[in-house]
């Protein structure tokens, strides 16, 4: 049985990872390089910022895929928390942008373990945050249950 959204949020709150400070990504307009097709559910990008662990974004089954969110204005960004589904990235970058065109890499790893991962970096000002996968850990596509963006 999956936890209900409220208990899920309580768990994140208890660890301090979810809302200290505010999650700037919550409800923001999300985009992705692709979304896996399903006749029974939706894996659209917005599923990773709806606060519900039972929903997720999933991309096509190839290494070079990305997911991004619009923070609705310039924000200070210093920490991104990722809740990966089993289909996670082995290597990925966290990138930020002011204009959704030119991207700066602020954090990267080649040893992604999945589960709950935190990318913490020197706070910077940006409007868009992108999770850019470069190597999959499984044969499936990347899949994120939730992404949270914080100032620090
Ligand atoms: Ca979700």
Burial of 24 (0-12, 13-18, 19+ CB in 10 A): buried
Which residues have CB atoms below 5 A from the ion given as ligand 1?
Answer: 47, 50, 52, 55, 145-146
Walking along the chain (152 residues) 10 residues at a time, the average pLDDT comes out as 53 50 91 96 97 96 98 97 98 98 98 97 98 98 97 92
User: Quick one: pLDDT at residue 148?
Assistant: 97
Ligand 1 centroid to Cα of residue 35, in Å, is 14
User: Quick one: pLDDT at residue 143?
Assistant: 98
Q: Residue 111: count other Cβ atoms within 10 Å of its Cβ.
A: 6
Ligand 1 centroid to Cα of residue 5, in Å, is 9
What the chain holds in terms of domains, given with CATH numbers, is 5-150 (2.60.120.260)
The pTM score is 0.88
User: Quick one: pLDDT at residue 1?
Assistant: 46
User: Quick one: pLDDT at residue 14?
Assistant: 45
- What are the distances in angstroms from CA 136 to CA 55, 114, 142, 146? 20, 11, 7, 18
Ligand 1 centroid to Cα of residue 7, in Å, is 14
């Amino acid at each position: 049985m999956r936890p209900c959204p409220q208990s899920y949020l309580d768990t994140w709150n208890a660890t301090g990872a979810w809302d200290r400070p505010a999650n700037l990504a919550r409800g923001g307009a999300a985009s992705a390089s692709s979304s896996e097709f399903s006749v029974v559910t939706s894996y659209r990008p917005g599923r990773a910022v709806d606060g519900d662990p039972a929903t997720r974004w999933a991309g096509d089954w190839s290494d070079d895929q990305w997911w991004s969110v619009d923070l609705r204005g310039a924000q200070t960004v210093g920490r991104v928390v990722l809740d990966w589904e089993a289909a996670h990235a082995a290597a990925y970058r966290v990138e930020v942008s002011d204009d959704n065109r030119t991207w700066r890499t602020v954090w990267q790893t080649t040893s992604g373990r999945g589960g709950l991962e935190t990318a913490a970096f020197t706070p910077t000002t940006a409007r868009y945050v992108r999770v850019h996968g470069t190597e999959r850990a499984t044969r499936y596509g990347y899949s994120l249950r939730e992404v949270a963006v914080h100032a620090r």
